[in-house]
Structure 1
Amino acid sequence: MESRKTTIVDIAKQLNISKSTVSRALSNHASIGLRTKMRVQQLAAELNYEPDLTAINFKQRKKFLLGVVLPSISHEFFSSIVSGIEDVAYNKNYTLLLGQSRDDEGREKRIVETMKDHRVDGMLISISKNTTNYDHFEMLRKNKIPVVFFDRIPNMNNIHYIASQLESGMREAVNFLVRKGHKHIALINGPTNLPASKERLQGFENALKKNRIKPNPDYVVYSDLTQEGNIAATHSLLSLKRRPDAIIAFNDYVAMDAIQQAKKAKVKINKDICFISFANEAICNYMDHPPMASIEQFPYQQGEKATEILLNLLESPAAEADEQEPTYHNILLPSQLVVRISK
């Protein structure tokens, strides 16, 4: 027969002390003297004592479970974010419950509701490109489930989020191209409803104006971020009477499709038309003709910081609830232009 597990009661009886004293000694509570702590912890080790995590979690009203919702884990950008999340969560004994929206608003809503029903302690969310209704996020707020958004941020007030400072990266990209002699610079942007697309466009237009280049509306096209959408957006630029001499793409995958389409049109890559993309993913290292430069958005650090914020919220929920005006963490990490081809 399987031997019975040692409990706090067993340790308390052998040492002739209370259960509460044993519990505090095992958790290194400041109210317990060093000698008592050593006696308790030594006996616990001898008896192979293992804490009852279910009982501890029930007492703390925690499951030590974090929900993570993102568009797709197949993209290196998001898998890097998950690695950052998991590393911080693991060190704090939290487990992740992961869901992919696949850029479908209905699927995202269902995942959020399921995680709420599973009583996750908190959630980390990057919204789908098609999400325009935020009722499921308001539901989490009403259920007092703290949320930290990352990378793709909803257009909501009073939320915690962390993202990359896209406008500064766009400014670096435009300045780099202008220094190379480019004046006809185009942008393949993402879906218009994404705040990240709006930030890219604003940075793009501001950088052009600072370089005394009048923005050309024909040089700004949009993609739904599918391969078909990327190809269609590129074709519209290549069909212009005055083709752009440089294209900045929403991300590396958009750039990859755009470069393939340009090659089919007999365009000499990074000669006739130079390309710059966002994200700086490793796929660029395996392309025959990679973008001339890419804008690093530090996804791993986004995941780390988002999780640190969430865990701080979970460790001090009462303090936040008592505040008349809670402090919301809004963090933008600086992006950085990484030059691949300097010529």
Structure 2
Amino acid sequence: MATKTTIHDIASFLNVTASTVSRALNNNPRISENTRKAVLKAAKQLNYQPNNIAAALRNGKSNLIGVIVPTADRAFFSSVVRGIEEIANRLGYKIIICQSYDDYSKEIQTVEALANARVDGIIASIGKETVNFDHYNDLLKKGIPIVLFDRTTDQLAVNQVMIDDYQGAYDAVSHLVDEGCQRIAHFTSPVKISIYKERLRGYTDALKDHGIPFDDNLVIESNLQLEGGRQSMLQLLELNKMPDAIFSASDYGAMGAMQVLKEKKIKIPQQVALVGFANEPFTSFTDPTLTTVDQLSLAMGHVTAELFFDQLNSLDKQIPQRTQKTVLQPQLIIRQSSLRSSGRV
């Protein structure tokens, strides 16, 4: 197995001291420009790779940020990560992206791995299975900053960034009522993390405020993926009276419902109107195009990163900081799948 090039190898190659090489690599002003260039050239020739963990141990900073998402193949999470990375790179930091796959044990292992890699902090969206937060509290005890986004919890005293899921759901259901819908079903998740609790609360309050009685038979639980949406729609079609609209807590669930309705020759939106949640890229290409709630993913990434670095700077300066919750206002994107009364497109 080939051994890694060290600063001692570079020093021997240039016939200088290892401390000179170290200072040159760290842009120490005591080193001349000619020496610095010679060291950088030799480092490249010898394929020198700095040991970030060792540097972090020496300096107390790695300039690495851990980012944990449930899954990276969702457009929402990849867009948030892009927003975080844009701010981090601008400030000279790199990010390490990890996926929990909504698996509690994997989330614990990921947090431990990032801590061992000496990251300067962690930005995370908690998994659906996570109900115990000891692994995050262990980081806080070590002084490692944490910021949560989207899927958050009040059980951790950390900064949080989210959208107003309640308002997004309320606006979606109110829009369906405005379009003449009176029997509105809701696709939700059996795992009641905060975002789904708030979307369910927005749904029920909107019904109440518009004088529509709540019907427990119209609230269907699933994993909110494509197949979950299909099964939920099939379950609704078995009722004596079919709903005239569906508000799904995810676009994938709404897309599954759309597939079943089209297979059954049920007209959208004339017979059943549809609204999803997330504004996934495919929603503007479906037939009909899908009305949805935009979660402002890129903006969420920017705000989350800015909040994280504000916290990091405060810790560096030993400034006491109170935790805060930043709530972004979602936007209802109205498309063909819900426009049944006005004929607008």
Corresponding residue of 2:47: none
Please give the per-residue CA displacement for 1:230-283, whole angstroms capped at 9, x wherever unaligned: 322222222211111110111111111121122223321212100001111111
Q: How does 1:164-179 map to 2 (within 5 A)?
A: 164-179=163-178
Cα separation, 1, equivalents of 2:226 and 2:173: 25
Is 1:333 aligned to residue 332 of structure 2? no
Residue type at the aligned position of 2:304: A
Q: How far off is 1:299 after superposition?
A: 0.6
**Contact 1:238–1:262 (Cα < 8 Å) also in 2:** no
1:50 is displaced (CA, Å) by 8.1
Partner in structure 1 of residue 190 of structure 2: 191
Per the normalisation by structure 2, the TM-score is: 0.82
| Other-structure match for 1:33 | none
Aligned with 2:292 (options 288, 291, 294): 294
TM-score scaled by length of structure 1: 0.82
Summarize the alignment of residues 296-315 of structure 1 with structure 2, pairs less than 5 Å apart. 296-315=294-313
Deviates most, 226-235 or 174-183: 226-235
- Offset of 1:319 from its aligned partner? 5.1
Match of 2:254 in 1: 255
**1:58 deviation in Å?**
5.5
2:126 partner amino acid: I
Question: Which residue type is aligned with residue 142 of structure 1?
Answer: K
**Separation in 2, partners of 1:314, 1:59:** 18
Q: Residues 338 and 5 (structure 1 numbering): CA distance in 2 closer, same or farther, change over 3 Å?
A: farther
- Structure 2 match to 1:204: 203
Aligned to 2:88: 89
Task: Give the 3 Å change call, closer, same or farther, for CA 47–179 of structure 1 in structure 2.
Answer: same
C-alpha contact (below 8 Å) 1:130/1:193 kept by paired residues: no
C-alpha distance in structure 1 between counterparts of 2:81 and 2:58, whole Å: 29
- 1:149-180 CA-partner distances (Å, limit 9, x unpaired): 11111341422110111111112112211111
Deviations 1:300-329 (A, max 9, x none): 111111111111211221556x64xx4112
Q: Paired residue for 1:316?
A: 314
Separation of aligned partners in 1, 2:221 and 2:17: 63
Letter of the aligned partner of 2:174 in structure 1?
N
Task: Give secondary structure in 2 for the equivalent of 1:279.
Answer: coil
For 1:278, what is the secondary structure of its paired residue? coil
Counting matched residue pairs gives 313
Alignment of 1:1-343 (within 5 A): 3=14, 22=29, 44=33, 48=37, 60-291=59-290, 293-317=291-315, 323=320, 326-341=321-336, 342=339, 343=343
- Cα separation, partners in 2 of 1:46 and 1:107, compared to 1, 3 Å: closer
Rounded Cα–Cα distance in structure 2 between residues aligned with 1:138 and 1:169 = 31
For the residues of structure 1 that align with 2:61 and 2:154, how far apart are their CA atoms?
30
Amino acid at match of 1:259: M
Runs of 4+ in 1 over 6 A off after TM superposition: 4-10, 49-56
| Structure 1 pair 310–50 and aligned structure 2 pair: CA distance change class (3 A) | farther
CA distances 1:104-151 after superposition (whole Å, capped 9, x unpaired): 111111111111111111001111122222221112112221111111
Shift of 1:60: 4.0
Note the alpha carbon deviations across 1:182-216, whole angstroms, 9 max, x for none: 11111101233211111001111111111111221
Unaligned runs of 5+ in 1: 13-18, 24-39
Specify whether residues 92 and 57 from structure 1 end up closer, same or farther in structure 2 by C-alpha distance, changes over 3 A only: farther
In structure 2, what residue type is equivalent to 1:298?
L
Matched residue, 1:31 = none
CA distance in 1, matches of 2:261, 2:34: 67
